[in-house]
Amino acid sequence: MLFKIAWRNIWRSPVRSWIIISALTVGMFAGIFSATFINGWMMQRLHDGVETETGHLQIFRDGYRKHPEVSVSFNSELATVVSENPLIKGISPRIMVQGMAASTETARGVKINGIDPDAEKAVLNLHEKIIEGDWFESPYKRPIVIGQKLAGQLQLKLKSRIILRFQDVDGNITGGAFRVAGIFKTNNTAFDEANVWVKKENLASLLGVSADKCHSLVVRLSDADKAMVVARELQSELTGMEVVPWKELSPELGYMTELGNTYLYLFVIIILLALGFGIINTMLMVVLERVREIGMLMSVGMSRRRIFLMIVLETVMLSSAGGMSGILLGMIAVWRLSYTGIDLSVWSTGLTEMGFDPIIYPEWDVALVLNIALLVVITGILASLYPAWKALKLKPSEAVRTI
């Protein structure tokens, strides 16, 4: 009967209850919407970073990351050994060197990635980001794929000649002419500006290293969440090598998701804190209005524990009604927007400079929603404590005669 009384009590002042329920609904809607928006934003960046830039993990020779010398290479046959791990879906060996990319107009510092185009397709999705030309299908002797931003800076178009200069294995300046076969565009203009992609054999011959050598193996897993586990397993198997998961390759991606989650919870807690005071105010009014009734309940033998529970239940039901309807509304909005996306193209320049897609697709995180629902209930319980305590302080002999 306590549940029945608590529920019916909520509707004794329907206007007041609707106001607090509406406030909770709007607050929770805002919380859920922001949570999924930021989650979607972060996950998109994470997805782009891992799928386009780093892969799930990379393998280097010990010391290469500290001193990326051309000579610190290893035989790409290691890929065969590594691929025995059942979680590995694709491996791409790379030769990498820092150099200058020059057109007839100007020059820029770039990282030159020598790849096997087919193997690279199996680990990253850069080939899907080609906006002009193709992914190494043109019959050029030395094809190169560059980013749109770099193409703009160097004033290059498809079929344009580009000169790459860098140090060979002996430390001598060398280089060669390449022809632009494809132009890509990712959501990260800094990446587009700083990376060029050439065939591994072309770069190897210019560097003076054997074509079967490489500086890194880029690995794609069947389950991205297993990156840390697989990295540990491979690390224990491969001596003299360094296996680096994406979180270490791009620590900013890991920090970003953690920061995003922290911000989300802070945001939701601030909303709930503000709403909590509203709930306390409402429930205090409820207690003050029902002094005589509470006095009567005490007089006829309702224990203090039950009176306390009745007020807590009423508050939790009130908070949950508002909280859950806000979550539900948020879910509907997010479900819709997860298809259409939220277009922030007005700020696209700034966003892409930081590597973010200007169209954000809000994304669910079930654990997050469950945690928010739990926080709503906890807020209800906490907000009920003071009004319930006030009720318990009443003296039945006085309360029962209150007008």
Partner 1 sequence: MSIITLNKIYKTYNSRQVPVHALKGVDLLFDEGEFTAIVGPSGSGKTTLLNILGGLDDPDSGDVIIDEVYVNRLSGNEKIKFRLNHIGFIFQAYNLIPVLTARENVEFILELQGVPKAERKKRSLQLLEAVGIPEKADVRPRQLSGGQQQRVAVARALASNPRFVLADEPTANLDSTSAENLLSIMHELNQQENTTFIFSTHDERVVKKARRVVTLQDGTIKDDKTI
Cα distance between residue 126 and residue 120, in whole Å: 8
Please identify, using beta-carbon distances, which residue of 145 and 298 lies nearer to partner 1: 298
Smallest Cα–Cα separation from 369: which of 324, 322, 319, 335?
324
Number of H helices, E strands in the chain: 15, 14
Cα distance between residue 171 and residue 162, in whole Å: 22
Cα distance between residue 147 and residue 152, in whole Å: 9
Nearest approach, Cβ of 259 to partner 1 (angstroms)? 48
Q: With CB under 8 A as the contact rule, which of the stretches 49-57, 113-121, 164-172, 294-302 interacts with partner 1?
A: 294-302
Nearest approach, Cβ of 321 to partner 1 (angstroms)? 16
Q: Are 133 and 60 in contact (CB under 8 A)?
A: no
Of these, 181, 204, 217, 297, which contacts partner 1 (CB under 8 A)?
297
Q: Does 317 contact partner 1 by CB under 8 A? A: no
Of these, 65, 179, 306, 390, which contacts partner 1 (CB under 8 A)?
306
Window 141-160: residues binding partner 1 (CB under 8 A): none
Q: Are 50 and 56 in contact (CB under 8 A)?
A: yes
Q: Does 232 contact partner 1 by CB under 8 A? A: no
Mapped onto helix, strand or coil, the DSSP state of residue 246 is helix
Please identify, using beta-carbon distances, which residue of 13 and 125 lies nearer to partner 1: 13
Q: With CB under 8 A as the contact rule, which of the stretches 8-16, 71-79, 269-277, 370-378 interacts with partner 1?
A: 8-16
**For residue 243, which amino acid is it?**
V
Of these, 80, 104, 155, 397, which contacts partner 1 (CB under 8 A)?
397
Q: Are 132 and 160 in contact (CB under 8 A)?
A: no
Residue 143 is encoded by which pair of tokens? 């094809």
Please identify, using beta-carbon distances, which residue of 260 and 396 lies nearer to partner 1: 396
Q: What angle do CA 216, 220, 226 make, to 5 degrees?
A: 115
163: which strand partners? 102, 177
**For residue 236, which amino acid is it?**
S
Please identify, using beta-carbon distances, which residue of 1 and 367 lies nearer to partner 1: 1
Please identify, using beta-carbon distances, which residue of 220 and 290 lies nearer to partner 1: 290
Of these, 19, 78, 169, 302, which contacts partner 1 (CB under 8 A)?
302
**For residue 216, which amino acid is it?**
S
Of these, 8, 157, 232, 336, which contacts partner 1 (CB under 8 A)?
8
Cα distance between residue 381 and residue 387, in whole Å: 11
Cα distance between residue 226 and residue 209, in whole Å: 34
Q: Does 288 contact partner 1 by CB under 8 A? A: no
Q: Does 298 contact partner 1 by CB under 8 A? A: yes
Q: With CB under 8 A as the contact rule, which of the stretches 117-125, 210-218, 265-273, 292-300 interacts with partner 1?
A: 292-300
DSSP annotation of 100? E
Q: Does 396 contact partner 1 by CB under 8 A? A: yes
Please identify, using beta-carbon distances, which residue of 164 and 321 lies nearer to partner 1: 321
Cα distance between residue 13 and residue 289, in whole Å: 11
Q: With CB under 8 A as the contact rule, which of the stretches 103-111, 190-198, 211-219, 300-308 interacts with partner 1?
A: 300-308
Please identify, using beta-carbon distances, which residue of 1 and 346 lies nearer to partner 1: 1
Of these, 304, 347, 374, 389, which contacts partner 1 (CB under 8 A)?
304
Cα distance between residue 224 and residue 397, in whole Å: 67
Please identify, using beta-carbon distances, which residue of 123 and 400 lies nearer to partner 1: 400
For the four alpha carbons of 242, 58, 253 and 363, in that order, the dihedral sign comes to negative
Please identify, using beta-carbon distances, which residue of 11 and 339 lies nearer to partner 1: 11
> Residues interacting with partner 1, by CB under 8 A?
1, 4-5, 8-9, 12, 292-293, 296-304, 306, 395-397, 400-401
